[in-house]
Structure 1
Amino acid sequence: MTEIRKDFVSKTYFELIYYSELYSSNYEEAIKLFNKLLYENSELTQEEKQSCQERTLRNVEREKELFKRGEPIKCNNCNLTRYSTRYCENCIIKYLKSFFGTWTSGSKIIDEFLRECQSNSGLPLHIMEWIPSDQLEDITPLVKGGISTVYIATWKRGAILDFNESKQEFVYSGPHKVVLKSLNSPDNPYEMIFNEAKKFVQIRSGDIVNAYGITKIKTPDDHFAIVMNYFSDGNLRDYLIKNQSALSLKDRIFAIWRISLALSNIHQQDLIHCNLHSRNILLYTNRCLLSGLGSCRPVNNESADKLYGAVPYMAPELLKYKKYSQATDIYGLGVLIWEIFAISQPFDYIPDSYQLAREIVCGLKLQMVPVIPNKIQSLINKCMDEDPLKRPTIEQVLDTIKSLYKEIYESQDLITEYENKKSYYSPSKIVVKPYTQVVHKSSIIDLNEKIL
């Protein structure tokens, strides 16, 4: 038996599954097309194709239960409605509840929070659990910030991958690397962890970073931390620098598509992300997954006392009035699309955050570099329109990007336009700069005085 090339198989899997979705809005038809393309693929071994089919089956059944797809089924165990033939989420929740008395984090507040999460979400990959510290080894600090510290570790048991209904037990992925994100607020040590962890349970999307649960890191302060996916390809900003010449037009539009889909999942929950930037997007092979959910807020809670984030991605009305909206997310998405093509960091020639904020409020725009295809330039300009009411919705952005991605497969015109422009384009300065997340501590009046 030959060894399965995990990264290559994963990349091929996502290319085929997303390509299939382009040609059918019907999920079952898209899966049939995927299976046909998988069968015809000459680059994968038979064992690798089988692993893709098993992955597809798991995802199809999980999404049936998650999105209530297909015909409803009466569960023989709990008599409630289910959609998956593989398992019933109601039964998994009941199974999780049966273990409530067998584990503890040592904190009543954390225990109650995790039990609430498990009472509302019982699908594999979307279950928040208590992960004992003895399950984690080789813990190594990665990044330290003002209110958070990020570590890398190996999770010996691994994440919940599936549920075996006949045996009434979870199937685990086995040892793999994870990220531990410790968030500490001096006023409330639990608030920031809860705010971020709740969003994972609420959104339940395959296009955002997975959160597996909460653990306690053995430090002098014994900080609690969220356990999440580890992505060896790093964040989008660093990835663009390392792969600037290797990325094709298809790669770039594919990345925009996945980022847009993740943002769509957030907006569908009546949430605003509030902190879009290229270091909050993590990569796994060819997938872009959105992180930084701790700053998410409901659409009916738009006003902010403080602005957290990177100024280059902030809309003018956000800097002036401290009011978040889904339209301010769209503005940030427009900046990201520009960055994916231009490679350079947006507005990197103005290093002072307050000076840049003043310039944006006074009408500063990103300069369209020649390498950006005309249709993408048009989309960027719409996303960054000075009037937030004139910006497209995330669904409109998705329709445009999917149409462009499909056009790449059916016509050479976009690729030819891009390659012609690319041959004459070279970013003036490609410099990896240390990233600091700007925190505006001023009041609204102070901030406006500094900007205006």
Structure 2
Amino acid sequence: MNQSDGAEIDINCPECGRIRPSGWCNPCEFRWMNSAFLKSGNKYIDLLILQTQKNATRTCDYLEFIDFGNIEGFEYVAKGGFGSVYEGYWMEGPRWVWDEVSAAWCRNGPTKVALKKLDDSQEPSMTFFKQLETYHRCLQSGSMADCFGITRDETGCFMFVMRYYENGNLYDYLDSNKGIISWRDMVDMLWGIAGGLERIHSEGLFHSNLHGGNLLIEDDTISTDAKIADVGLNGPAYQSISSDKIIGVLPFIDPQLTYEICYENLRPEIKLGNWIHAICDDPNPSEISNNFGLAEEKRWKTIKREIDNKKLSKDLIHEDAIYTSRIFDFSILQN
């Protein structure tokens, strides 16, 4: 048996006799997955999973519900704007191992995965479900981070189970490789980002929350690639966001949107220009965040000198605050 994406496996299906492009017979595979289908406890999530399985064209080109009891070594990694990231081992693993004897896809066994837990997602909003249904088409692209399926923890919150990328996100990669990134690797990463954005935009959609934390790096001996993550996961799962609100990380929001809330008119060159600067100029996000914190500290000290008799908020500003996704309301700037 060997791990493969099925790219060179064009053989007859032993079940129905049809040619299987990339080793995948859609009718037979869907029938098998349907017979082994695990329910999530939410009919809309189940319908989404069934839809991805029905439309799958190759292995791991679909979602499945994964029993949380099948996840071991579960550990917290980081907090995002609308959820938290964990890591662990999916003991069964994805069906991406090709068994030449049985001419069938088999599970990989224990596989390290990243898990994104959505805050307060016990009962996701209908807007969130519709968003997932719309964006699932973009999963069928090599420029997107691999998403294996969905699980549900003991609290009832939903979690997306994704491939674990050893090199981390763009911020991690730039920090750990500062000064030793070749132009070839820079171009490869930009090519991956551009390809992913083109795939999303070709469906008439927008990522709406693209920043370095949502770009996962796959670094091998041949090339360095950037995979776009969190497609369709922008915003909180538990509430609908008004159309006059913007979700994102401030340094990566098109300035045009601060006075004209219209994603249809979004300028793609702004987005790509941000990433050319971020990768080629190699800024250190932690330094930018720390400078922001120092500026805030100095500002508050000045205010305290002016109003000694008034109590000020003691809330601390997180050092990475400007690199956290949040909801912005720029409508007041239009008045």
Does the TM-score normalized on the shorter chain lie above 0.5? yes
Q: Relative to structure 2, which stretch is displaced further, 193-202 or 311-320? A: 193-202
Alignment of 1:13-412 (within 5 A): 58-61=5-8, 84=21, 86-100=23-37, 103-121=38-56, 123-162=58-97, 167=102, 169-184=104-119, 188-189=123-124, 191=126, 192=128, 195-196=131-132, 199-218=135-154, 221-285=155-219, 286-294=224-232, 304-325=243-264, 327-344=266-283, 348=288, 351=292
Mark the runs of 5 or more structure 1 residues left unpaired by the alignment.
1-50, 65-72, 298-302, 353-432
Q: Check the 8 A contact 2:171/2:213 in 1, yes or no.
A: yes
Q: Check the 8 A contact 2:6/2:59 in 1, yes or no.
A: no
What is the alpha-carbon distance in structure 2 between the residues aligned to residue 271 and residue 132 of structure 1? 31
What is the alpha-carbon distance in structure 2 between the residues aligned to residue 434 and residue 254 of structure 1? 27
Identity %: 27
Relative to structure 1, the CA distance from residue 164 to residue 74 in structure 2 (aligned partners, 3 Å threshold; closer, same or farther) is: closer
What is the alpha-carbon distance in structure 1 between the residues aligned to residue 39 and residue 14 of structure 2? 32
- Which residue identity is paired with 2:7? V
Report deviation, 1:441: 4.5
Q: TM-score, normalised by structure 2?
A: 0.75
Higher percent of residues as helix: 1
Q: TM-score, normalised by structure 1?
A: 0.57
Relative to structure 1, the CA distance from residue 118 to residue 447 in structure 2 (aligned partners, 3 Å threshold; closer, same or farther) is: farther
Relative to structure 1, the CA distance from residue 240 to residue 296 in structure 2 (aligned partners, 3 Å threshold; closer, same or farther) is: same
Q: Check the 8 A contact 1:203/1:269 in 2, yes or no.
A: no
Report deviation, 1:309: 0.8
Relative to structure 1, the CA distance from residue 271 to residue 345 in structure 2 (aligned partners, 3 Å threshold; closer, same or farther) is: farther
Quote the residue 1:439 is aligned against.
Answer: 326
SS at match of 2:7: helix
- Which residue identity is paired with 1:343? D
Runs of 4 or more consecutive aligned structure 1 residues displaced over 4 Å after TM superposition: 73-80, 162-166, 185-188, 345-352
Q: Relative to structure 2, which stretch is displaced further, 244-253 or 113-122? A: 113-122
Per-residue deviation, residues 377-421 of structure 1 (Å, max 9, x unmatched): xxxxxxxxxxxxxxxxxxxxxxxxxxxxxxxxxxxxxxxxxxxxx
What is the alpha-carbon distance in structure 1 between the residues aligned to residue 327 and residue 210 of structure 2? 16
Quote the residue 2:312 is aligned against.
Answer: none
Report deviation, 1:316: 2.6
What is the alpha-carbon distance in structure 1 between the residues aligned to residue 34 and residue 169 of structure 2? 36
Higher percent of residues as strand: 2
Per-residue deviation, residues 243-289 of structure 1 (Å, max 9, x unmatched): 12111121211211122122222222222222222221111222211
The count of residues paired between Structure 1 and Structure 2 equals 297
Quote the residue 1:378 is aligned against.
Answer: none
SS at match of 1:252: helix
Mark the runs of 5 or more structure 2 residues left unpaired by the alignment.
236-241, 294-318
Q: Check the 8 A contact 2:121/2:156 in 1, yes or no.
A: no
